[in-house]
Structure 1
Amino acid sequence: MIYLKTDQEIELIKQSAVVLGKTHAEVAKWVKPGVATRQLDKIAEEYILDYQGVPSFKGYNKFPASLCISINETVVHGIPSGYELRDGDVVSIDCGVKLNGYHSDSAYTYPVGEVAPEIMDLLVRTKRSLYQGIEMAKDGLRMGDIGFAVQDYVESFGYSVVRELVGHGVGRNLHESPEVPNYGKRGKGIRLKEGMVLAIEPMVNLGKKAVVQERDGWTIRTADRKPSAHFEHTVAVRKGKAEILTTFKYIEEVTANTSLMVNAD
């Protein structure tokens, strides 16, 4: 069942999203060579708890951490560990916050130090594809319009879209119906209605679309071990134009990385 949110519920999700955005920014300060991903997770958890939130991910289906931290060829669901970031890495940080009974969910992929130009291009274009999808999240269109917008944009550069993992509804539960694929056909799929709240999250590979799951039962990486990028916003479907509920503003105030401030909200 798809739950349409009232304006009051959407406002509660936005309040959660403020804490989420500021949590990302606190973590962003420490995305640099020599920092262990486990330390980033600790920073996020402490910040969320300090602001009376609950980390949405920790304990979800027994996931052991507050952040999913995915390095290089890891697409999503990487588990924080003692791994220390290195110059040239790319790191996707996915986080969710529950506040006042409602979740928000967003992800951002960072370059660590100096990365190869082709990988920076992947990050910039994956982020742009997120906004391409968001432009289609409006009342009266179809779910396939969102997926097509993402897929058509990134495939024009020779990238591939992960098929096994999709976006989702967000609300009182972290994952709700409907699923939000990053591929599709225009005019196909369920009709979008005002009040739907969706996590739109392109996962885009530099190489082929195939992925594999590691033995830990969580980590998803590219089969060809080429890098992947991941950006995510929680948005509300509206008439005329989607409303972006999460924000990258706080991240980009910290990083001042103009090369990734394309289509910033």
Structure 2
Amino acid sequence: MIQLKSDREIAKMRLAGLVVWRAHQIAAELIGPGATTRAIDAALDNYFAQLGATPLFKNYPHHEKGKPAFPAVTCMSRNEVVVHGIPDDRPLEEGDILSIDTGVRLGGWCGDAAVTHAIGKIDPEVQRLLDVTQGALQLAFDLLHTKDRWSQIAAEMARYVKDHGFSTVEDFVGHGIGRKMHEDPQVPNFVSRSLRGRADFFIEPGLVLAIEPMVNMGTPKVRLLRDAWTQVTKDGQPSAHFEHTIAVTRDGPVRLTVAPSKEEEALMEDLMAVSSPGLERLIEW
């Protein structure tokens, strides 16, 4: 069941979104040849701990009984890894790409976002993959202004990716988000069988979605590695992933995981000061 959010609840989700945005800025400052994903993950773990924010990914239970929980605060997906890559000690190299996905709960509300980074100079075709994936996310945001149902947006996203010569991953989809990271509805980046039926939903004020196109250079097919989490492209070609938490308001869609506006900068300063009164004021905002 889809749970629509009030303006006040969306404002509180914006706070969590600002934390996620800042986490991605910290990660971007640390990325480069020679850096390790484990070190970047540790830095974000420390940042979240300082704020008293709860990482959404760390110890997230596996859907299969007996499999290990996810061990980190970020998914670090390098080159052919599509999603759910586990941070490790392998140094990043010039020409790599790295998708970082992370999320937090703060004040009872969640934020979630992903970015694919180029490590130094990358192949032009790989850069085009990143641009198209980010373009698919931008297209979805733009269409939230004009379309009535998600199926219409998903169809345009998949067509956009295909027209640029890439493929949309169909094994993983976006999701509703609020007090929990994963809420209804499922938000595919293509017109799934379920979306053709009862799983389609209206675009209406109060809807908050984590929209996250995952796009492969070659086949859309994936396979699971032995660690029970890491999903890689079946043909070993690169994959890119971009995500924002986006709210639909009466005035149109709003990204909740982007940089603070001028009006929000003072709130962000309070947040970075990690003062209890500041946090209380922010959570009440």
Q: Shared fold (TM-score greater than 0.5)?
A: yes
Partner of 1:38: 38
Of 30-39 and 134-143, deviating more is: 134-143
Alignment pair present for 1:219 and 2:223 = no
Partner of 1:164: 171
Partner of 1:155: 162
Partner of 1:56: 56
Q: Which has the larger radius of gyration?
A: 2
How big is the shift at 1:137? 2.7
Alignment pair present for 1:194 and 2:201 = no
- CA distance in 2 between partners of 1:119 and 1:158 (Å): 12
Partner of 2:216: 205
TM-score by length of 2: 0.84
Give the counterpart of 1:243 among 245, 251, 254: 254
**1:76 and 1:28, CA in 2 relative to 1: closer, same or farther beyond 3 A?**
same
- CA distance in 2 between partners of 1:55 and 1:152 (Å): 34
**1:242 and 1:162, CA in 2 relative to 1: closer, same or farther beyond 3 A?**
same
Q: C-alpha offsets along residues 209-264 of structure 1, whole Å, 9 cap, x if unaligned?
A: 111111111111100000000000000123463111111679xxxxxxxxxxxxxx
Alignment pair present for 1:15 and 2:19 = no
- CA distance in 1 between partners of 2:101 and 2:240 (Å): 11
How big is the shift at 1:139? 8.1
TM-score by length of 1: 0.90
- CA distance in 1 between partners of 2:135 and 2:97 (Å): 17
Residue type at the aligned position of 1:12: K
Say which SS state the counterpart of residue 218 (structure 1) adopts.
coil
How big is the shift at 1:148? 1.5
Do 2:18 and 2:260's aligned partners in 1 also have CA atoms closer than 8 Å? Answer: no
- CA distance in 1 between partners of 2:224 and 2:259 (Å): 29
Q: C-alpha offsets along residues 87-121 of structure 1, whole Å, 9 cap, x if unaligned?
A: 10000000101100011000000000111000011
Q: C-alpha offsets along residues 121-148 of structure 1, whole Å, 9 cap, x if unaligned?
A: 1101110110101122358611112211
4+ residue runs over 2 A deviation: 136-140, 238-241
Give the counterpart of 1:94 among 101, 106, 118: 101
Residue type at the aligned position of 2:23: T
- CA distance in 2 between partners of 1:128 and 1:140 (Å): 17
Give the counterpart of 2:241 among 196, 213, 230: 230
Partner of 1:256: none
Of 191-200 and 67-76, deviating more is: 191-200
Q: C-alpha offsets along residues 26-47 of structure 1, whole Å, 9 cap, x if unaligned?
A: 1111110111110010011111
Provide the aligned C-alpha RMSD in A.
1.8
Give the counterpart of 2:139 among 132, 135, 138: 132
Say which SS state the counterpart of residue 100 (structure 2) adopts.
strand
Percent sequence identity over matched residues?
Answer: 41
Do 2:246 and 2:253's aligned partners in 1 also have CA atoms closer than 8 Å? Answer: yes
